[in-house]
Structure 1
Amino acid sequence: MANSGFEYVRHFEHHDAIPPSNWIVVRIDGRGFSKLCKKYSFSKPNDQRALDLMNAAATEVVRSLVDIVLAYGQSDEYSFIFHESATMFERRAAKLATTVATAFTAEYCLQWPTFFPEQQLSRPFPTFDGRCVAYPKRKILRDYLAWRQADCHINNLYNTVFWNLVLKGEMDGKAAEEALKGTLAADKNEILWSRFEVNYNNEPAIWRKGTVVYRAYDAEEGGTRQSGDVEGQRSSGGKGLGGGVSEGAKGGSKSQLEKERKRKQKARIAVEHVDIIGDGFWEARPYVLAGKRGHVEE
């Protein structure tokens, strides 16, 4: 870029790079989705088409951004996990958040006709905002994901009881809220079973547990090699959603880095509705959160 007398304005830009060796979470949320749900008459308490659309959009974002190792979604939100060694966009928080949010929004709108063929999108179109948070340890990252899945369960149980009271119990919204005030999970389960013969544990897993999207290396299931890194791997903030490969990356040749990038691109994108609070998911797939040399550390 040519120098000019106006270039001083660049000094007002804020340097917002996430520190190295931190896991990066970009969480996107739908903007004004309560109005959108009413506008397109989403089913209550869950609209399967809407959830499937969210998952389809998330799958394409994970496929496009190879530094993402896992994503977790529920309702109108999704959390995308960038590996601690990721260097896409030089780990700049604003660029990571806006890239994920805009890519997700584009996929959501583009794939809308597939899931809602009889309802054409109109203004205001669905949009998603994004925030970027750094977590210094795998344990804290695990706790974050556990928090989001626990939130999914709590919200879905409440909504399931609420909408049964409204749709089947013929209560208005205010009366249903009053009936649920101060109730515990056991109370809500009792209401569902005694009044509506609904066993909450038999509700679809996608509603109760949300959705996990990750790169599955089937030949390595149960092994120690990880999906997000090779020794000394670095990816650059080059053009394109997937970024590039840094030619001068330390600890790895260009051919090694390119091989690993292609390996990620060819990996199967798994979409599952499973528990991620306990250890079972992670013990069966240690490569998801493994670091250099394939180690999984706290």
Structure 2
Amino acid sequence: MREHEVYSRLRAPPSSRIILRLDGRGFHRLTESLDFERPYDEAFRDLMVGTCQDIMDEFSPTLIYTFSDEINVLLDSVPFAGRVEKLDSVFAGFASSSFTMSALEAGFSPVKPVSFDCRVIPISSDLVPEYFRSRQDESWRNCLNSYAYWTLRREVGARSAARKLHGLKHDSLHELLFERGVNISRVPAWQRRGVGIYRVPHTVTGYNPLRDEEVSAVRMRVKVDLELPLFTEEFFEGLMK
């Protein structure tokens, strides 16, 4: 019956860089049921970051970028011979399990099983910065819209807030928030720009007993960047060299 497994032979192009984008399924209801703060909650952020760190430890990608309930994984090498079904199922399952375990350890009890979906995005190396800039732009839009909605919702309720915000441009949203004492450019960077998880060099020192001297070496360690800068070509040149 293996001839019916028609999608199992689908593989990512071997000449492409691979990005995996994972999205939480039904996370609006999840965050509501767990009573997380709106529009942003540090506990939820930490659960997402913890999931990213587990992915980093397990698969050693070049970069993981997360905001809201989204995780973007830039792979250094492609596992499972690039089999799309395998990449989608393993990464989605791994993220779902990691998030659930972290939530339970932190004292949260989801009322339903937590799940992520996953898509495989083949992309040329020169388009990688553009891809992540587009996701960071989405993080900014999400931040602005979320603050506007939840700020107004506390005043007039959910339906009226959605109705009043419908069709408003960025300048109008900025003005709406500023009038209510919210300077969106001053909210924490991780809310505006997302969080990056990647490896950076650092120097470690030790002692060489044969030479009776202190020695140093450069090692790589994982950095969780809550003050992530705007993505630039130079940022990715350092990561992908």
TM superposition score normalised by structure 2:
0.86
Contact 2:129 2:233 in 1 (8 A): no
Q: Which residue of 2 aligns with 1:133?
A: 121
- Residue 197 of structure 1 aligns to a residue whose secondary structure is coil
Q: CA deviation at 1:10?
A: 2.2
Residues of 2 paired with 1:19 and 1:140: CA distance? 15
Contact 1:216 1:268 in 2 (8 A): yes
Q: For the aligned residues, what is the CA RMSD?
A: 1.8
Which of 73, 76, 84 is 1:93 aligned to? Answer: 84
Q: How does 1:21-60 map to 2 (within 5 A)?
A: 21-60=15-54
Which amino acid letter does the alignment assign opposite residue 235 of structure 2?
A: F
Q: CA deviation at 1:148?
A: 0.9
Residues of 2 paired with 1:114 and 1:17: CA distance? 36
- Residue 146 of structure 1 aligns to a residue whose secondary structure is helix
Q: CA deviation at 1:87?
A: 4.1
Does residue 17 of the first structure (1) align with residue 26 of the second (2)?
no
Q: Which residue of 1 aligns with 2:225?
A: 272
The one-character-per-residue Cα deviations of 1:7-40 (angstroms, maximum 9, x if unpaired) are xx22333311111121111111111112212211
- Residue 151 of structure 2 aligns to a residue whose secondary structure is helix
Contact 1:217 1:268 in 2 (8 A): yes
- Residue 139 of structure 1 aligns to a residue whose secondary structure is helix
Q: Which residue of 2 aligns with 1:160?
A: 147
Which amino acid letter does the alignment assign opposite residue 64 of structure 2?
A: A
Residues of 1 paired with 2:89 and 2:163: CA distance? 40
Name stretches of at least 5 consecutive residues in structure 2 with no aligned partner: 204-218
TM superposition score normalised by structure 1:
0.70
Which of 81, 94, 98 is 1:103 aligned to? Answer: 94
Contact 1:61 1:104 in 2 (8 A): yes
Contact 1:209 1:275 in 2 (8 A): yes
Residues of 2 paired with 1:202 and 1:114: CA distance? 32
Does residue 71 of the first structure (1) align with residue 85 of the second (2)?
no
Q: Which residue of 2 aligns with 1:289?
A: 240
Residues of 1 paired with 2:35 and 2:185: CA distance? 26
Which of 181, 184, 191 is 1:200 aligned to? Answer: 184
Contact 2:33 2:110 in 1 (8 A): no
Name stretches of at least 5 consecutive residues in structure 1 with no aligned partner: 1-8, 220-265, 291-298
Q: CA deviation at 1:120?
A: 2.6
Bigger proportion of residues as strand: 2
Which of 182, 193, 200 is 1:209 aligned to? Answer: 193
